[in-house]
Structure 1
Amino acid sequence: MHARAVAVTTTALLGVALLTPLSHAGTPLSGDDGPSVVAHRGASGYAPENTLAAVDKAAEMGIRWVENDVQRTRDGELVVLHDDSLRRTTDVEEVFPDRSPWKVKDFTAAEIARLDAGSWFGSEYAGARVPTLEQYVDRVEHNHQKLLLELKNPQLYPGIEQQTLKVLANEGWLDRRHVAGRLVVQSFSADSVRTVHELKPAVKTGFLGTPRVSDLPEYAEFTDQINPSYGSLSMSYVSSVHAFTGPHGRPMEVLTWTVDDADTARRVAGYDVDGIITNRPDVVRDAVGEDEDSAGR
């Protein structure tokens, strides 16, 4: 209804003109050697999830794509964390014992920066921190990797779509090179994905879930990927998604999650999925035979 006005306003706020032609976006995620392998929250089977250590571990394995989750602090900083509570993956209960239920949105960025986000996983990761989105994308850039960014719980953080795009723009991630093959923004919220598409049409987007085939024409207007859990997947469903053309003029893609064993990886690869999201990217890569340089070609 008022999407055009919102898009114009947001473009001015971002200070980034929508100069990237849509034909340059939507480069296929998978290569000729099989589905792309995406490190879920980084290589989270081997390092504490969503930390810089997990990004680096994926890079050591030669994994080009990493996935993360973005939430917002009380004072408006974007941080990379899966849960809306800090309790499971930090020592917040010890540092702030009187702040139950320890929701991310109730803590400032400075308070979260004090927390140990690694010891829960193993003593060798003691002192790892919850990264800000700026810190995270800088590390991904340093490692020459690619980013599947999830907007987590967007209903808790009004305007997070616009704010995330602003951070990405400030960090150099909305130029032609990045949007052409190094960035996808996804969410379980169709409204959030649609908002990202309206605000920055050049950015490739993904919807997390398994919409009915009859609803796919509507999704094809604003999302490039349909990304379901592997348990809800079938070869016919993947074929149905591939039959639709997404907003950037290419067949819609399917990435599936979270696959951590070789047998399941081979099964979903047989469905012709475009990507597999996994905590154990080395296991999946070895099973499906993806070349480490094929992702995003």
Structure 2
Amino acid sequence: MQHRTAVSTVVSALCGALALALPAQAASARQAGHIIVFGHRGASAYAPENTLDSVQRAADLGVDWVENDVQRTRDGALVVIHDTTLARTTNVEQRYPDRAPWSVGSFSLAEIKQLDAGSWFGPDFRGERIPTLQEYLDLLDDTGQGLLLELKQPELYPGIERQTLDVLGRADWLDRPHLARRLIVQSFSAPALRTTHRLRPEVRTGFLGNPPVSQLKQYAAFTDEINAEQHSVTAAYVKAVHGMKGAHSKAMRINTWTVDNAPAATKLVRMGVDGIITDRPDLIESATRRHT
């Protein structure tokens, strides 16, 4: 443990010294054809989405970045789950049959922790639990992966932007190395990203969606990336995004979702996208390497 702590301290110091150079390195990587592959909700083609097992599967596949979703329980805990209802990915209907529609925000953390979040995916994952954001970050500290963190429907959870930043801060995820290389906050909500940028302007942010080119300048005031649905992306749109300077005065980046087959990934690589969010990160990593 002491050895790992010492190594971590040295690495953190080196990363901090390099932090200011990283945006330029990222731009050079794009010019060289490097594509970042994000494991969508972990490695969700191989393990139940947004669980710790899914993160570990992604790490075992060599995936450097994972994407997740954060929401809030009735008693104020931040948990990692995609749907605003617990019904699809847990056994909540069997355990609490009289509490439809089983909204995440209507259950306490203790109640949520009793739910099986793995059996729906397969019997091998029986007993998998919904993780808290802190538990998720703890595992990423072990795996070394980066996090693309989505604020899921923040309008349901007033103040979740500040609360999420507080959790990240307590977990030491707002230091220079994490901010430069391992953390992006995204959302479909422009107001939530504006709030995040106002509270912690050093945090990289990404807007989920595809604003028209005429509005990109407005989004560039508080975002660094446009994370667009794959079928909405064209080469002209990629060029327009790259032509904008984002919130940190660097060329904006564009990632696409959710891309799970090699031909689609190849097409997007040729358009010039910077990253691909996928349920099958091993497949997409292989496909992008062949065409970069």
Quickly say closer, same or farther: Cα 1:131–1:290, change in 2 above 3 A. Answer: farther
Q: Cα RMSD between the aligned structures? A: 2.1
5 Å-filtered alignment, 1:1-297, equals 23=20, 26=23, 28=26, 32-289=32-289
CA contact (8 A) 1:69 1:81 kept: yes
- The separation in 2 between residues aligned to 1:118 and 1:33, in whole angstroms, is 37
Alignment TM-score, normalising by the size of structure 1? 0.88
- The separation in 2 between residues aligned to 1:177 and 1:183, in whole angstroms, is 9
- What one-letter code is carried by the residue in structure 2 that aligns with 1:68? N
- The separation in 1 between residues aligned to 2:115 and 2:21, in whole angstroms, is 41
- The separation in 2 between residues aligned to 1:287 and 1:164, in whole angstroms, is 34
SS class of match (1:110)? helix
1:116-162 superposed Cα distances (whole Å, 9 cap, x missing partner): 00000011110100000000011111101000000001010000000
- The separation in 1 between residues aligned to 2:172 and 2:26, in whole angstroms, is 21
- The separation in 1 between residues aligned to 2:141 and 2:38, in whole angstroms, is 16
- The separation in 2 between residues aligned to 1:33 and 1:50, in whole angstroms, is 29
- The separation in 1 between residues aligned to 2:26 and 2:161, in whole angstroms, is 23
- Give, in angstroms, the shift of residue 64 of structure 1: 0.3
SS class of match (1:178)? helix
Alignment TM-score, normalising by the size of structure 2? 0.90
Unaligned runs of 5+ in 1: 1-18, 292-297
- The separation in 1 between residues aligned to 2:142 and 2:249, in whole angstroms, is 31
- The separation in 1 between residues aligned to 2:270 and 2:92, in whole angstroms, is 43
- Give, in angstroms, the shift of residue 28 of structure 1: 2.7
1:86-105 superposed Cα distances (whole Å, 9 cap, x missing partner): 00000001111111110000
- The separation in 2 between residues aligned to 1:176 and 1:24, in whole angstroms, is 12
Quickly say closer, same or farther: Cα 1:109–1:290, change in 2 above 3 A. Answer: farther
CA contact (8 A) 1:37 1:290 kept: no
Unaligned runs of 5+ in 2: 1-15
Aligned to 2:5: none
- The separation in 2 between residues aligned to 1:50 and 1:195, in whole angstroms, is 25
- Of structures 1 and 2, the one with the larger relative CO (CA 8 A, separation 6+) is 1
- What one-letter code is carried by the residue in structure 1 that aligns with 2:112? I
Superposition misfits of 4+ residues, deviation over 3 angstroms: 22-27, 29-33
CA contact (8 A) 1:35 1:290 kept: no
- Give, in angstroms, the shift of residue 187 of structure 1: 0.1
SS class of match (2:185)? strand
- The separation in 2 between residues aligned to 1:119 and 1:126, in whole angstroms, is 4
SS class of match (2:255)? strand
Query: Identity percentage over the alignment?
Result: 53
- The separation in 1 between residues aligned to 2:266 and 2:21, in whole angstroms, is 31
- Give, in angstroms, the shift of residue 218 of structure 1: 0.8
- The separation in 2 between residues aligned to 1:100 and 1:169, in whole angstroms, is 35
- The separation in 1 between residues aligned to 2:40 and 2:210, in whole angstroms, is 19
- What one-letter code is carried by the residue in structure 2 that aligns with 1:89? T
1:148-177 superposed Cα distances (whole Å, 9 cap, x missing partner): 000001010000000000000001100011
- Give, in angstroms, the shift of residue 25 of structure 1: 7.4
- Which structure carries more helix by proportion? 2
Quickly say closer, same or farther: Cα 1:154–1:24, change in 2 above 3 A. Answer: farther
